[in-house]
Structure 1
């Protein structure tokens, strides 16, 4: 295809800047490369231009032999660029073309693919159920701590654009670790969800996330630079990771007010694509690893031959005969091949204190949440929520204290997971 005579520009409103030399033939499935040496060969000319590393746009327009525009255009805008890093076209699962920073420069060849890390947006609860709080979880995908400020300019902190948050001085995320930004008091959130002490927690409050959808961009400061247009000092902020979520398909809709969070499926894959997100089971896992997929969980317990046998590994199968299906064992975090490993109430005891309490003992799994429910008749009536139980830090026996019945001689309890809104 010959694109000779077409135009490249850094201003959509001024299409006719650099006119491509004729002929400029792109072979089938091939590439044509133009550089600043082409469009800025003579900076004194009015139509010459430079791409601004602080943020810019670039567009291609079709034209006829006389230089008249013929209606075709393609291009994109980009934010601040890291030195030596290119942006490249990447088509996500919906068919939308995006232009993230690339792993490597491949001028004249296929794009290398999006950069991921060193820190990613890992989990988002933007519209919690009543009684729960918003949060954004970040994940360090490297084996070294990441400081959320420029070590050479410590007052220049990282930002989470869209949430209006700038990280405080000395903030950092541990190696392979997590960090939380929460929609309430940080200490109260840590206590309510039993967040591990090695997970930093910062309050976003009173900022709230948009329930209709929002672009969140984790940005790091580049060294201060001189703005080529104004001559003033400018601090470029470079996108490290970005996610644009919405409340409509193909994004998971269960995360819109029904309790679950949005969980990233693959930490090493490009994040701004709904195919890499799912709704969590239950209220999410703030400060803990995202749930592994059902398929990955089954692969840990069943051989390839068993995975092909629905009677053994199907969601409704019960290979250990403990009365709980594989899917229930997956939700409970228990072993589907061990009849002694299942979610059940091990014992109940009554205190001698006033007011009286009941201690319900269960074999809890680390990182799972629970709800204790009750009713006063075993045969009839709805199960009512008595209390939610935050996830334990380690698996093992756990006692949950609940108040005894005040106006009934008999009360029945059950424990469900994940916890109920």
Structure 2
């Protein structure tokens, strides 16, 4: 790059001298105190004092050239340095992402459960930190069990494809021979159910990755549950399938049925009813199976719709027992009781679905009366037909009537 400088220096007489690198001798004009016939190329100062401004002029020129070169190099090297910094940061980010599991803060705590207590994620109910792997091991006396209850303010990072991959809390049953995962939960749409350990040891694990989410975390309160053992002197009689079937028939809901069989643990049995014990890993979505299989609704549908009024088509001549007339339309739809009764009981075949309430409804139809003893004549049919109202029985309610003895 070419640089052009014009340096102005004051001469001995106070006259400015202009120096340009493109001039032959370095001056664009000669000062007035030079000899008139002297050329610029042969000019020299008359005294030693006049050589001092000339030396300063050369030093200023060299300084200006050095500064210009330095500034130009700074301008060209700055983007390259900035690019190298960005590349270094990106490489650091990639390295952090590949090794983020090794950067987790790990802590394990053992708790002897002698009463009630709670554990929670750090900063609960504020947003929990990143890169955590926390473990709590709860132990209770041999004759007790540990019950866990989640706080309603539960919220972790959302699952991916209904699987808790990133942030989650996990509960495991521990024994000397096996470890069974009771569940893994994340998200915020549903609070995990209450859990009672199957042994006197239980493990709770909380993990968060390097992605920050503004969620409250979790809080779990634990308590002791006693184990009741049956007395050796008291034995339950053998329950046959027929007797069990009669017992089940007396209940309308699963909750009432479980309360009858297990008064102490019916709630836990109800919560674990829809879990698949054959798999060690179960995602959070398995709780939604309650809405997919509603046993109470299925049982109620049987009782409500097995013996109910339903559509039947009846022939009007047969229904009204008239043989000398013809109707159009020939058939009509009516509500009549149908279905079976007593499903699941031993004498269900002896029950009959009958009408509990019958009403008569009017229907307007076209009635034809053929003439007896006369041949059919064209044009006389009009006198033998008319719109008439007829009454038909409709069943509004149906009841099951069972005889005391089953039919032979």
Band the TM-score falls in, shorter-chain normalisation: under 0.3
Higher RCO structure (Cα 8 Å, ≥6 apart): 2
Question: Which of the pair has more CA radius of gyration?
Answer: 2
TM-score by length of 1: 0.21
